Structure 1
């Protein structure tokens, strides 16, 4: 077997790398342990009922420029359904709708926030005060909050307890998968600045209309039609290192010789692939054991009759943060999907207890569900869903490209990808794709970034600008 460029891992980061490399004529070999691409953002066949189920509902936002670019390249943008409205509820059948007003960003959300029924006058005043601070905070100002928790910023801005519990918490826990007290402040700020304030399209919510793994099938044809290969069911055991360069990828079936390798796997998986000798030779690999993890729980529920009419609900002051309406089948059964982020306390619970707790929230917010039990339920625990976005995390997030000194001093033909790398984004699908594009750019020597969603004219005048990490 002749040596070639190998990409390890078929999640979004690996797909992004392989797509861009194939496009540039590098004919990569992408290997993936599972039988389908997608990594953690994927689907499975439930052996209980033979249904295709997503591990967890994933959301695309208008500000996710690199993810949307990837979907465009492989031809699946038409499998995303967009929603300009966000439906919020605290219970008793009262649903508040946040929709952008016909005002220039960043004021397009101001009227909607003022109409949230579960916020009092003091809450709204506090939120407006913090939002104005975020609007006026430049990228450099945001970086000055690096290493501190977002809860400290909210305390400085004199946020009310109700505003924290009912507004800030649902958004940040869902976006960053950690509690406010554990969340790196600069990234929480980024969620609001780039996701909701800078551009009216940034907060648009896109939901896949197909099981997640069907988003990635066209990527295989894209890569292979350009001379690359995608091989599933192959697990990397280790990286062969001659003291200077990576010479191959060790698998159960033998050695795959390589000219270069891109590892597009989670940090803990990469930690198992590298020898002590390789770790000492590459500064990027020396902090892999310092990352923490944060879990996510997805709960699929089927009801005999429809109990929810909205496409989604942001659930306030509850264990469940999001409810997604997955539709009604031919028998009239409605499929709902509940998502609990930062789900540490749920991980050791049995499925029956999980369903009971979720149903308490559903009975509170969905009046038509009261007195009903799901006819079927399936809890999917992702104990290692994301890295924990804790204060100071950027100190250990490595860049993709090898470099001569410091954290980036590295083996010259080893490239890293994954949402945990130094992408300038939280642990998201967008972050994973950004890392893949950066790795591809490092290999090819070309700029593979596609830019951020530009701020509106007024937002730019007021100081809202994307941090802009992709080179």
Structure 2
């Protein structure tokens, strides 16, 4: 058998978390290796050229906001931050109810009341509906990590019922938020995850929403790979890890499926939890922080791309108001996003979230239903001819944040020396997202730097909160929870 290859750090996974970690270690003077089992880097943010049209397509359409400091730190390091295309400053998104467009815009009011004017203008909501949102707003403003965990045993619907949120408000915005941000229906999502997301939304002011102006993976994959390889470190794609090896006390490396042994002082896993569990020695799997890996469950989704013979809208992005029988959650017209496309016809991408419910549907049926939903929102598009369509079935959008998720998210430092964890599902204090993935990658790199005795501050703080938000947060932290919510969480302790 050939001798082992020696590294300081082996990174498993070449998505956002893994490549961020590698970039964060480029100046450390360490020997690195990045291992990716797929042929393409990028993980759940990879992109490629459609074989028929040559146009870039992504693993599902994505958005970014200017509240993503860790993701943008990666792009700035790679020189690609200017490839993000931004919506007009005040427009957050458009929600369609049939063919009626409801524009969600931020007002000049400060957080946490910056969206009140938009909500007041929605004809589906009355004053009592808006007022009923005061309960979750008060709880979310005062939320700390302990209270996230206290709420974690409840589902979102039960928590909102206990807080007195009226059904119209739940249907109109909370169901939509649960599906579009957390990828999980309201009745199955952790209330801790849901109200943590609400906390971030109302205490900071996301001024802009943006989209990749190139293939999503092209924002970071070519630059990260080039930087890592230029520094003399291998990036191996189509390479499968068979096991993480080590003693009972520490991880010492990775054995690949082809038999090669990579010895390392640090193994950084950015793999999904189930994949990581399959690589661990059995004795490690019972330790706190690793014992819940098989509990996590992925949310599958389907991304549909439709090429038309003409431009069907001037919008970049829009969403459908929630209905349980709908297929699609949101739509993007890349002809209005890609800056060099000029007058090219529309290329529309969409997301079908929680797609296990339609896994048995044929591609043709999914395309037909997607087009029907598109035409409900844009009746003028009936004159357009569909020239080409593709359906991408993706087994993992995020790990489902069902009740118990927040308590099981592991920290970056695993209970085995030499093993570090990263990924949007780890304990970042953020909803699963590209920002959470990037923050976890920087954090893993920080721990490697610290072990070498040269601490570095790589993780970026979120944007600061406004004065009014800080005052209301302080007041909410001393106010007791509504009695119905206290009773509901007590019953589940």
Do Structure 1 and Structure 2 share a fold, with TM-score over 0.5?
yes
Equivalence map 1:7-22=2 (5 Å):
7-22=11-26
Alignment partner of 2:312 out of 307, 313, 324: 307
Give the structure 1 partner of residue 488 of structure 2.
none
Partner of 2:34: 30
Note if contact 1:79-1:215 (Cα within 8 Å) is conserved in structure 2.
yes
Residue in structure 2 matched with residue 250 of structure 1 by the alignment: 255
Quote the RMSD (CA, aligned, Å).
2.5
Aligned mates of 1:424, 1:178 — CA distance in 2: 18
Q: How far did residue 420 of structure 1 move?
A: 1.9
Return the offset for 1:303.
1.4
1:386 is paired with a residue of what secondary structure?
coil
How far apart, CA to CA, are the structure 2 residues paired with 1:44 and 1:314? 24
Q: Give, in angstroms, the shift of residue 371 of structure 1.
A: 5.9
Report the counterpart of residue 46 of structure 1 in structure 2: 50
Change (3 A) 1:240 1:129: closer
1:186 aligns with 2:192: yes
Would the alpha carbon gap of residues 253 and 48 (structure 1) be closer, same or farther in structure 2, given more than 3 Å must change? farther
Describe the superposition over 1:342-397 as per-residue Cα deviations: whole angstroms up to 9, x where unpaired: 22212221111111221221121111123655221111111222211011113322
Partner of 1:450: 460
Q: In structure 2, do the counterparts of structure 1 residues 125 and 243 end up closer, same or farther at CA, with 3 Å as the change threshold?
A: closer
Q: Please give the alpha-carbon distance, in whole angstroms, between the structure 2 residues aligned to 1:142 and 1:239.
A: 32
Q: Tell me which residue corresponds to 2:293.
A: 288
| Aligned twin of 2:333 | 325
Greater Cα shift, 456-465 or 57-66: 456-465
Residue 430 (structure 2) pairs with residue 422 (structure 1): no
Change (3 A) 1:373 1:135: farther
CA displacement 1:98-124 (0-9 Å, x = unmatched): 222122222222212211233344433
Q: Is the 8 Å Cα contact of residues 136 and 195 (structure 2) preserved in structure 1?
A: no
Would the alpha carbon gap of residues 421 and 59 (structure 1) be closer, same or farther in structure 2, given more than 3 Å must change? same
Structure 1 pair 11/146, CA: closer, same or farther in 2 (3 Å)?
A: same
Counterpart in the other structure of 2:473: 463
Q: Aligned ranges for residues 244-393 of structure 1 at < 5 Å?
A: 244-251=249-256, 252=258, 254-280=260-286, 282-318=287-323, 319=326, 320-327=328-335, 332-370=344-382, 372=384, 374-393=386-405
CA distance in 2, matches of 1:157, 1:230: 50
Alpha carbons of 1:399 and 1:24: their partners in 2 closer, same or farther (altered >3 Å)? same
Q: CA deviation at 1:183?
A: 1.0
Aligned pairs, number: 456
In the aligned structure 1, how far is the partner of 2:144 from the partner of 2:426? 23
Residues 459/351 of structure 1: CA separation in 2 closer, same or farther (3 Å cut): same
SS at match of 2:43: coil
Q: Structure 1 336/35 Cα, relative in aligned 2: closer, same or farther at 3 Å?
A: same
**Deviation for aligned residue 1:244:** 3.5
3-state SS in 2 of match to 1:276: coil
Q: Distance in 2 between matches of 1:339 and 1:126?
A: 30
Whole-angstrom distance in 1 between the partners of 2:278 and 2:140 = 40
How far residue 127 of structure 1 moved from its aligned partner, in angstroms, is: 3.5
Give the Å deviation of 1:129: 5.4
Q: Secondary structure at the match of 1:22?
A: coil
Cα distance, 1:278 vs. partner?
4.2
> What runs of 5+ residues in structure 1 fail to find an aligned partner?
403-409
CA offsets 1:198-255 (integer angstroms, 9 cap, x no match)? 122x263121111012112111233334453323232212122244333332121511
Q: Aligned to 1:2, what secondary structure does the other structure show? A: strand
2:242 maps to 1:232: no
Which residue of 92, 106, 121 maps to 1:115?
A: 121
For 1:158 and 1:283, locate their aligned partners in 2 and report how far apart those are by CA, in whole Å: 37
The farther-off stretch of 243-252 and 98-107 is 243-252
The equivalences for 1:116-131 within 5 A come to: 116-127=122-133, 130-131=136-137
SS in 1 for 2:373: helix
Q: 1:252-304 CA distances to partner (integer Å, 9 max, x unpaired)?
A: 15112222211111112112222324435x54332221111211221111111
Unmatched segments (≥5 aa) in structure 2: 478-493
Whether 2:400 is the aligned partner of 1:394: answer no
What whole-Å deviation, never above 9, does each CA across 1:405-445 have from its counterpart, x for those lacking one? xxxxx221111111222222222111212221221122221
